[in-house]
Amino acid sequence: MKKKIPKGLQPLLWSKSIEKLDLAHDKTYIIHQLLSYGDIKHLKWLLNTYDRNSIREIFLKYPQRIYEPAVFYFIKNFVLGLKNREMDEKKYAKTLF
């Protein structure tokens, strides 16, 4: 059975109906939206749906400027374990301090 996207994620995935989202085809969109706007419960679902290496790969290969700076550093350093990796904050952060 194909894994479904919970209806509770619709507010975070606002640009498309969750019924029309495909976990494989829309992976980049889903991952970035949940990393940027989700809470711990959403991150748990994300990590249970995609393996950490896939999430890391999407985050690194397809940066999106949708993150608040504090969220970017939290995701980069703690959720994805990229603390020692130099990354261009301008590619991810909406505003810079």
30 falls within a domain: yes
pLDDT for 90 beyond 60: yes
Total domains in the chain come to 1
What pLDDT, on a 0 to 100 scale, did the predictor assign at position 2?
62
73 falls within a domain: yes
What pLDDT, on a 0 to 100 scale, did the predictor assign at position 1?
47
Q: Please report the DSSP string for the chain in residue order.
A: -PPPPPGGGTTTSTTS-TTT--TTTTHHHHHHHHHHH--HHHHHHHHHHS-HHHHHHHHHHS--S-B-HHHHHHIIIIIS--TTS---GGGTBSS--
pLDDT for 97 beyond 60: no
27 falls within a domain: yes
9 falls within a domain: no
What are the Cα distances from residue 13, in Å, to 16, 52, 57, 80, 87?
6, 20, 20, 21, 26
What pLDDT, on a 0 to 100 scale, did the predictor assign at position 4?
87
For 32-71, the pLDDT digits (tens) are: 999 999 999 999 999 999 999 999 999 999 999 999 999 9
- The parent domain of residue 52 ranges over 21-91
Residues, the chain: 97
For 5-31, the pLDDT digits (tens) are: 999 999 999 999 999 999 999 999 999
6 falls within a domain: no
